[in-house]
A and B are shown apart, each in its own frame.
Chain A
Amino acid sequence: MEKKRILSILVKNESGVLPRIGGLFARRGYNIDSIAAAKTENPKITRMTIVATGDKSTLEQIEKQLLKLYDVLELKVLDNENSVSREHVMLIAGNSEETRANLIQVANLFHANILNVTEESLMLELTGKPTKIDSFIKLVEPFGIIKLARSGLTALEKR
């Protein structure tokens, strides 16, 4: 059975690390749902949050193969119990003046921020759990989504 798994990995902040990880997933046929990366408090180290999908043995292989990469320093499997995860979305939606008020209502309901306003459309942003982002997008969809950018999941282990 296919499952999702959140992997939080620390890697060396060097050029070539991302292709090593991307290449590993590509050549071994692993499914990658999202990948989010940026340097940590230590500029020599980058934290990557990878969401991967696969059956049990594939997920086990993904972990082991990642750990074999010389640039991977640490790998943790995260879940709802041991971590907090968030995603960020930015989107431009709306198609007419008449519906704008309703769109603002949806935005307020989710506590989404309005970043930019034009005559026809609004640019909105929201941070939250992926499920929240999903339902936000679902409710905005009828107003017409013109552009959308999701950050991919990022997560942090609780202390």
Chain B
Amino acid sequence: MKLNGAEIVLECLLEQGVDTVFGYPGGSVLNLYDALYKYSDKIRHVLTAHEQGAAHAADGYARSSGKVGVVIATSGPGATNLVTGIATAYMDSIPVVAITGNVPVNLLGLDSFQEIDITGVTMPVTKHNFIVKNIEDLADTIREAFLIANTGRKGPVLIDIPKDITVKETEYVKKVIEPVSNYYADITSDQIKEVVDLIENSQRPLIYAGGGVIASEAYESLKEFVEKIDAPVSSSLMGQGSFDNTDDRYIGMLGMHGTVTSAYAVTECDLFIGLGTRFSDRVICDIKSFAPNAKIVHIDIDPAEVNKNIKVDLQLLGDVKCILDILNKEIKPKNNKEWLDKVYSWKKEYPLKMVEEDDEMVTPQYVLETLNELAGEKAIITTEVGQHQMWTAQYYKFKYPRTFISSGGLGTMGFGLGASLGAQVANPDKRVINVAGDGSFHMNCNELVTAYKQQIPIIELLFNNNVLGMVRQWQRLFYGKRFSQTTLDRDTDYVKLAEAYNVRGYRITKKSEVRDVLTKALSENTPALIECVIDRDINVLPMIPAGGSINKPIVNIDI
């Protein structure tokens, strides 16, 4: 069948099972949008306010569903507006395919109107990228892009398509796409024996789950593994939800804003098993004091992550789920009661506690715990970046994978609202709540219009402390309380702003209002914005300063 390039793009998306794309039209993608018009019964296009919002939405769609997120933008500024979104997905290994238009092939390289070398720009932030200069290559390039995004360690792929390629016609033959299987292990029986021996001889094992556990859908396998070896479980920010946070064995996050229990457990453990993780500097802190008494086992799909940030004693390369399934067959159930009792005593002694609660003051802890109670374990929580992000990770009890969505590696303020839109589109039956701070909110609040116009009933839960809280916290600790450019006090009327976008707005200033407002917003199937006014001097604790010893968390900061 003879089709033009734009139609081939959409046919290839259909081959991949894509039924939703996020994007923004423009000159170079006119033909693509003309085809989308024709295919509107098969592919839903979600129009955002800004290309960055579309990129984050595609990312949130992917994180919450496990499918590939697709975003479309025009050439030049449309394409460059995607860059932060693509980089966010890249740092967190999220499968996204970005399709950009470009000027016609004969105008490439001439500084033509809205021309940008987007493959050059995105080279360091994509797994791979393509520019299609020949219509005959178009279909296979799109298929290859999806394959790359989904294979091994996942990540974003960009395809740049000059305008004339979308007009030209060629023969299109539909292909049946085999689902990508990453279920493999590149390990020997000796390695299996070695790790089984290590586990059997260990008295104080600690399991540390990263985002790779979620990417490989290893939730059940991890649960079985934990029960078998009877070990406490800590997680990275990206690993939140990979293990039931309400399980006794779960001890909270590890690293800069991890729990004291995790900090002590990593210090005292004799076997540290890192699953699907890259040992970020935010987790290791000071390399010398990290797991000083332990053998370190690293299980990951990306060989380049092994021995990159930390030297490990044993590496098992492959899909986390596949390797756990192998180990679960080999390991005899263990009992580490003595060690777990010790861990539980730390848990009791050092609970996460923000400030002394009183009757009137709205604290993030109270709001998040109430939200947790009302929205429940099936809700999807997205976040922006900053204090509110850490509080959410600390106080919300995530029970299932893909229920916590946050920019971990890049730390992108302005990520959450777009991501929540994507997550809600992918999960129409679930409640999606984006937890934000006032700093992050102001970066991309334009996407409230998308929530209204596209009828995406997300709830924006905005903690307003009128400051850039996380930076302020660092300024308090390390810069002599010189709060340079972090006191915002912008006097924004958030309720009015929400209403201007046709989104219902609520304002909470007293603790007694929290439950009622949350209940009301959750009961309505429309977008809402809830502003919670909080104190500007609440800190994220515990905290290990960058490069500090993990066994010496700060648990108190004088204001």
Binding site for B on A (CB under 8 A): 16, 19-20, 23, 27, 57, 60-61, 64-65, 67-71
Query: B307 touches which one: A27, A60, A65 (CB < 8 A)?
Result: A60
Contact of A19 among B123, B127, B308 (CB under 8 A): B123
Q: A55: shortest Cβ distance to chain B, in Å?
A: 12
The distance from the CB of B279 to the nearest CB of chain A, in whole angstroms, is 13
Q: Residues of A contacting B148 with CB < 8 Å?
A: 70
Q: Return the contact of A70 from the options B119, B120, B128, B307 (Cβ within 8 A).
A: B128
Chain B contact residue count (CB 8 A cutoff)? 14
Q: Chain B contacts of A68 at CB under 8 A?
A: 302, 304
- Bitwise, B102-128 to A at CB < 8 A (1) or not (0) is 000000000000000001100110011
A63 to chain B, nearest CB (A): 9
What are 9 sample pairs from A and B whose C-beta atoms fall under 8 A apart? A19-B120, A20-B123, A23-B123, A23-B124, A57-B307, A61-B308, A67-B304, A70-B128, A70-B148
Task: Determine whether the beta carbon of A16 is less than 8 Å from that of B119.
Answer: yes
* Interface pair A64/B304, CB less than 8 Å apart: yes
Contact of B304 among A20, A65, A71 (CB under 8 A): A65
A64-B303 in contact given A16-B119, A70-B148 (Cβ < 8 Å): yes
Identify the 5 closest CB pairs spanning chains A and B, nearest first. A64-B304, A70-B128, A64-B303, A65-B304, A23-B123
Q: Collect the chain A residues with CB atoms within 8 Å of residue B119's CB.
A: 16
Shortest Cβ distance from B481 into chain A, in angstroms?
35
Asked whether A70 lies within 8 Å of B123 as measured between CB atoms, the reply is no
* CB-defined contacts of B128 to chain A, threshold 8 Å: 69-71
Chain A residues with CB below 8 A from B120, complex form: 16, 19
B119-155, CB < 8 A from A: 119-120, 123-124, 127-128, 131, 148
Distance, CA A65 to CA B305, complexed state (A): 9
Q: Which residues from A are CB-within-8-Å of B308?
A: 61
Question: Is A61 within 8 A of B123, CB to CB?
Answer: no
Asked if A70 contacts B303 (CB within 8 A), the reply is no
**Measured between alpha carbons, how far is A67 from B148 in the docked complex, in Å?**
14
Alpha-carbon distance A69/B447, docked complex (angstroms): 35
| 0/1 interface trace, chain B 279-317, chain A, CB 8 Å (1 if under) | 000000000000000000000001110011001000000
- In addition to A61-B304, A70-B148, 13 A-B residue pairs with Cβ atoms within 8 Å of each other are A16-B119, A16-B120, A16-B131, A19-B123, A23-B123, A23-B124, A60-B307, A61-B308, A65-B304, A67-B303, A68-B302, A68-B304, A69-B128
A57 to B306 CA separation, bound complex (whole angstroms): 11
CB neighbours (8 Å) of A71 from chain B are 128
With the chains together, A116 CA to B484 CA distance in Å?
66
**Least Cβ distance of B492 to chain A in Å?**
38
Nearest B residue to A24, CB-CB: B124
A58, chain B: closest CB distance, angstroms: 10
Chain B residues, CB < 8 A from A61:
304, 308
Measured CB to CB, the nearest residue on chain A to B151 is: A70
User: Within the complex, which residue of A23, A27, A64, A70 is in contact with B127, where a contact is CB–CB below 8 Å?
Assistant: A70
Question: How far, in whole Å, are A70 and B148 apart by their CA atoms in the complex?
Answer: 8
How many whole Å from A7's CB to the nearest CB in chain B? 15
**How far, in whole Å, are A64 and B123 apart by their CA atoms in the complex?**
17
| A67 surroundings in chain B (CB, below 8 A) | 303-304
CB proximity of B128 to chain A, nearest CB, Å: 4
Which B residues, 401 to 449, have Cβ-Cβ distances below 8 Å to chain A? none
